[in-house]
Amino acid sequence: MRIGDFLVCDDIRYEIGNKHSLIGLYDDQIQFQVSISEKGKWPKGLALGILLRAKFENELERLQVTKFRLESTLNGTKKLLAEGGFNYDAKVVARGINIAIVLKQFLFESTGDLTFRYTFLDSKNSVVQVFDSPDPIKVTEAVE
52, 3 Cβ separation under 8 angstroms: yes
Q: Is the per-residue pLDDT at 90 higher than 60?
A: no
What is the mean predicted confidence (pLDDT) over 106-119? 95
The pLDDT assigned to 126 comes to: 94
What is the mean predicted confidence (pLDDT) over 111-131? 94
The pLDDT assigned to 98 comes to: 86
The pLDDT assigned to 92 comes to: 52
The pLDDT assigned to 81 comes to: 95
The pLDDT assigned to 115 comes to: 96
Q: Is the per-residue pLDDT at 120 higher than 50?
A: yes
List domains and CATH numbers for the chain: 2-143 (2.60.40)
Sorted by sequence, the CB contacts under 8 Å of residue 73 that are 6+ apart come out as: 79, 114, 115, 116, 117
Q: pLDDT category, 2, cuts 50, 70, 90?
A: confident
Global pTM? Answer: 0.88
Judge residue 127's burial from the number of C-beta atoms within 10 Å of its C-beta, 0-12 exposed, 13-18 middle, 19 or more buried: exposed
Q: What is the pLDDT of residues 15-70, one digit of tens each?
A: 998 888 999 999 999 999 999 999 999 999 999 999 998 888 887 777 788 899 99
Higher pLDDT residue, 8 or 90?
A: 8
Sorted by sequence, the CB contacts under 8 Å of residue 98 that are 6+ apart come out as: 20, 51, 52, 53
